[in-house]
Structure 1
Amino acid sequence: MTTVNKLLAAAFAVIALGTSASAEKLRVGMECTYAPFNYRTDAGELAGYDVDVAKGVAEIIGAELEYVCQQWDGMIPALLANKFDLIVASMSITESRLEKIDFSSPYRDSVGRIVGKSDQDLNLFDPSGNPIPENFAGLRIGLERASTYESWFNAKLPDAEIVLYDGSEPLYLDLVNGRVDAIMTNPMKAHLRFLATDEGSGFEFISPAISEVEFFGTGVGIGLRQGQPELKARLDGAIKQLINDGKLTEYALKYFPFPIHNEEWGDS
């Protein structure tokens, strides 16, 4: 190698090191308690579908991640206060949230279902799947605070007695102990975390899947502060690539027996 080539090689090495050292770092907000989407393992490591998505996106856009655990009802205020850069926490894309923040294209479906005792004859929905408001009157319904489920109940079933919780885990405890008559939550999580376990024996879904776009949005996306079109475009491109490469299906099958996204999102 000539002296000139050696100097060029050394220069490129320095540039590469400088690029690596200055790799983009993005802080990611999530609950860290919402298994199987984002939670800590027994070893204290963050895991779950949201974590897999965040890592997959970061690899494609060339970013390093730092995770910040945040209670759900303070998630958007914390993003706006610059406590982190992205929300990757199974947050549904809704019109009300879009007034405050931007979202990437969706990476997961967004639906809700009600869980209650198997032996209850509550007759809560008509044959078309519409709720019967008078049959909800006086029922104690457990919901996570500031969730799409709370918004849906407030608009559709104001006569139900709503009991709000900071996080999803207390919902199941109070349902088992009879402090609430039913809960509404993510059906994928409810199946794995509760209904498929001994703890969930004697309970079942007592509603159809509810996916009204007005309340549940067009899916779950990555939240970011408004005014960052370049970052949003990179996130959108990364999610599309994860869909088309089969990675979102791979992530889902680690926790569920089926994909939890719409394949058509990869064509948009």
Structure 2
Amino acid sequence: MNFLSLKSLAVGAVALLAVNTASAEVLRVGMECTYAPFNYRTADGELTGYDVDVAKGVAEIIGADLEFVCQQWDGMIPALLANKFDLIVASMSITDARMEKIDFSSPYRDSVGRLIGKVDGDLNLFDDNGDPISANFDGLRVGLERASTYENWFNAKLPGAEIVLYDGSEPLYLDLKNGRVDLIMTNPMKAQLRFLDKEDGSGFAFASPAISEVEYFGVGVGIGLRQGQDELRDRLSAAIRELINNGSMTEYALKIFPFPIHNPEWGTM
């Protein structure tokens, strides 16, 4: 092979690489970036957490590059619909109400909620079957994150409670500690690590069993995307199944929690 042939091959290889690079799929991912331990920034500004690991794991399997976009929770779905990003990977529960507006991949994390209050509150909020005693919530101030499944559950189940809404989860803990609300409801995995295990959480404890009514909390947490993108949805779901079945999803959880936070049966969905 002469010099010109080698040169032609080299130029062709560079051109092919340029084409492949230019045509690589780029997916913009919306998340709060403040929802530790699921998606948040470290002290040096690095975006990390369980949702971030899932997004990166899925992207590696489907061969996509990611661009992360930080978005407040109550504007997450409107921003997706306005094409501000392509996917929501933000611990968003799959519910019928949300599926009227957007589509979801198969689930990758459990979706539950628990109440937190003072240890000596003695409020007698739930009966022996774990059902809420509606009358005992009347007049209680309960802090909830705006546009959350917790807000929907309270509105339907406990209308006598006085709901106080917050933009983001961090103000919940501050106002509970300062006595501005009597209770908060949030993700128990997050609350244990972020609040109850810390000095700030001294004197507080879970005030309810884990609540996971599918009608309000959905079947789990999934990746949100715009409707009509069935091929992308199916690729995302297949990647999630692979991450479950190859053990990666368990590894992501064990970096933070002492147990997996997904249903193994989702690997066969």
Match of 2:192 in 1: 191
Aligned residue type for 1:98:
M
**In 2, Cα distance between equivalents of 1:264 and 1:17:** 41
Higher mean C-alpha deviation, range 10-19 or range 115-124? 10-19
**In 1, Cα distance between equivalents of 2:264 and 2:8:** 49
Aligned residue type for 1:228:
Q
Q: How does 1:199-218 map to 2 (within 5 A)?
A: 199-218=200-219
Aligned residue type for 1:266:
G
- 1:6 is displaced (CA, Å) by 6.9
**In 2, Cα distance between equivalents of 1:8 and 1:173:** 64
Match of 2:117 in 1: 116
* Runs ≥4 residues deviating over 3 A: 1-10
Name stretches of at least 5 consecutive residues in structure 1 with no aligned partner.
Answer: none
Q: How does 1:18-29 map to 2 (within 5 A)?
A: 18-29=19-30
Aligned residue type for 1:41:
T
Aligned residue type for 2:262:
H
Match of 1:41 in 2: 42
**In 1, Cα distance between equivalents of 2:127 and 2:87:** 40
Aligned residue type for 2:241:
K
Aligned residue type for 1:225:
R
- Sequence identity (%): 76
**Alignment length, in residue pairs?**
268
Aligned residue type for 2:187:
N
**In 2, Cα distance between equivalents of 1:41 and 1:5:** 48
**In 1, Cα distance between equivalents of 2:87 and 2:242:** 19
**In 2, Cα distance between equivalents of 1:14 and 1:264:** 45
Equivalent position SS for 1:209: coil
Match of 1:157 in 2: 158
**In 2, Cα distance between equivalents of 1:127 and 1:6:** 80
Aligned residue type for 1:149:
Y
**In 2, Cα distance between equivalents of 1:192 and 1:237:** 31
- 1:78 is displaced (CA, Å) by 0.4
Aligned residue type for 1:223:
G
**In 2, Cα distance between equivalents of 1:259 and 1:231:** 26
TM-score (norm 1): 0.97
Equivalent position SS for 2:115: strand
**In 2, Cα distance between equivalents of 1:243 and 1:6:** 46
Match of 1:92 in 2: 93
Match of 2:177 in 1: 176
Match of 1:17 in 2: 18
TM-score (norm 2): 0.96
- 1:21 is displaced (CA, Å) by 2.7
- Give RMSD over aligned pairs: 1.3
**In 1, Cα distance between equivalents of 2:235 and 2:7:** 36
**In 1, Cα distance between equivalents of 2:159 and 2:203:** 27
Write the deviation string for residues 13-66 of structure 1: whole angstroms up to 9, x where unpaired: 422331123211111110011000001110011111001111111111111111
Match of 2:228 in 1: 227
**In 1, Cα distance between equivalents of 2:17 and 2:129:** 61
Q: Indicate whether 1:260 and 2:261 are aligned.
A: yes
